[in-house]
Structure 1
Amino acid sequence: MLKVENIDVYYGKVQALYDVCFEVGENEIVSIIGSNGAGKSTLMKTIMGVNKPAKGTIEFNGEQIGSVKTNLIVGKRLVYIPEGREVFPKMSVKDNLVMGAYSRKYSSAEMNRKLEEMFEIYPRLKERQSQLAGSMSGGEQQMLAIARGLMSEPKMVMYDEPSLGLSPLIVDEMFETIVKVKQTMKIPVVIVEQNAFMAMSISDRTYILENGHMKGSGASKELMDSPEIKKAYLGG
């Protein structure tokens, strides 16, 4: 579904990504782990067209998107749920969800069906659908950000630091829901996370990004058993 080959990315004259490659197959969860500042968010934003690669190619669902504008990438149903949630704080929960479907041109009946689908995944959002998004807790806002992204019926979804700023209990709930959504919608998922243990525990494969370089990859279960990975990322 997604293939990134040999991309270099710069911010001005400062290079942020070096010859980065990774890929995501159909119906799998892939995690990208690394310390703060490793280039994880830069990679996500480059895939979404916010940054343009100076070198290399990005292919989504058989199409080259390395030079495509962000709004057109969204129209191809590649969804990015950014770090820090970024809900519309002065809009209601329901209006936030409706905004997530702007590219799909749903009929009224289709919109209601999608809203009910999201409320089934996140019952708390149904209870709070008239509440202003900015008045909700961090965990509830993260649920809303995810549900808003899913309103467009994505072909793939990328989560950027979904556990950021959440309590351990809410983090567990969040990752359970990510797995549930993947199983229900049968779409591939990318998780970019500093919480390496949680990301690796639910993913099929993991890539390790450090200082803009891909340092390794492999089956998540095997990497979790690696002494080097345990020491560097899992506190072992």
Structure 2
Amino acid sequence: MDVQAIIHVENLSKQYKNSDFVAVDNLFLDIQKGEIFGLLGPNGAGKTTLISMLCGLIKPTSGHFSIDQKTYKENGLAIRKSIGVVPQEYALYPTLTAHENLSYFGAMHGLRGRGLKELVNVSLEKMGLTRFANKQVGTFSGGMKRRVNLLAGVLHRPKVLFLDEPTVGVDVQSKNAIIDFLKELNGQGATIVYTSHHLIEAQELCDRIAIIEGGKIIAQGTPNALINSVVDARNLEDVFIAMTGRGLRDGI
């Protein structure tokens, strides 16, 4: 185990009940404290299953992992307090206002009173949402919902933040606001684990990247190192196609 790793994964596997398919297959991974780490792969490669295990949502079939040198079995509550999760699907209440949503999720993490109110106000201002604070989230555009969704997952200032497609379906302005906010959080010490199909965005944002295929990590390194490892690759998209192929991955 790397002593600097805030996430350590060893021999981790997941095979769902009544399935012949191994979703995550004997996977090893170390993610360093303070990194922005990209987890990339085609549909069905095992990204969501891996993240779900790291977030404590599903149990591994075999192997083990630790977060901040803690395991869910021994320190589950401490881990849950130290992580933030921003899912691809909006985890918001559409009939509540932006302020009410963030107040609710902040309270879930133990934030209270004037401190919580001030934190919500500052967070909404950072994301350009102050004038919409008392509007129902269900009336928001996709980009506005994405920004509130992100804020809901980070109000408690987690040590480790898991992001699943944080900029999918948003306009350029919202994308830039989200990326700038993530860089700010990272600058304050947060480790970020980021999954996306936006490969150029990942290339520009991430310190290191792992490409997953068939439940295994098939390549890992800095964006430049990965690009340099593939003949004639101009960017991460070329690397991704070279390593995972051009076949369509549609499924049900």
- What is the TM-score of this pair, normalised by structure 1? 0.88
Percentage identity across paired residues of the two chains: 20
The alignment partner of 1:43 has SS state of helix
Q: Is the 8 A contact 1:9 1:18 kept in 2?
A: yes
Q: CA RMSD in A?
A: 2.2
1:61 maps to 2:68: yes
CA shift in 2, pair 1:84/1:225, >3 Å: farther
1:200 maps to 2:203: yes
Compare 100-109 and 140-149 and name the one that shifted more. Answer: 100-109
**Corresponding residue number in structure 1 for 2:35:** 28
The amino acid of 2:196's aligned partner reads E
**Corresponding residue number in structure 2 for 1:217:** 220
Any gaps of 5 or more consecutive residues in structure 2? 1-5, 243-252
When Rg is computed on C-alpha atoms for both structures, the one with the higher figure is 2
The offset of 1:111, in angstroms, is: 0.7
1:43 maps to 2:50: yes
Please list, as runs of the form range in 1=range in 2, the aligned pairs for 1:130-149 lying within 5 A after superposition.
130-149=134-153
**Corresponding residue number in structure 2 for 1:2:** 7
The amino acid of 2:205's aligned partner reads I
Q: How many residues align?
A: 231
Distance 1:56 1:8 in 2: 6
Distance 1:224 1:73 in 2: 38
CA shift in 2, pair 1:31/1:105, >3 Å: same
Any gaps of 5 or more consecutive residues in structure 1? none
1:108 maps to 2:108: no
- What is the TM-score of this pair, normalised by structure 2? 0.83
Question: Deviation string for 1:120-159 (max 9, x for gaps)?
Answer: 42122x2111111111111111100110111122111110
Question: Deviation string for 1:81-102 (max 9, x for gaps)?
Answer: 1112222111110111112212
Question: Deviation string for 1:49-101 (max 9, x for gaps)?
Answer: 111001111201111126876xx366432111111222211111011111221
1:99 is matched with which residue: 98, 104, 127?
Answer: 104
The amino acid of 1:11's aligned partner reads Y
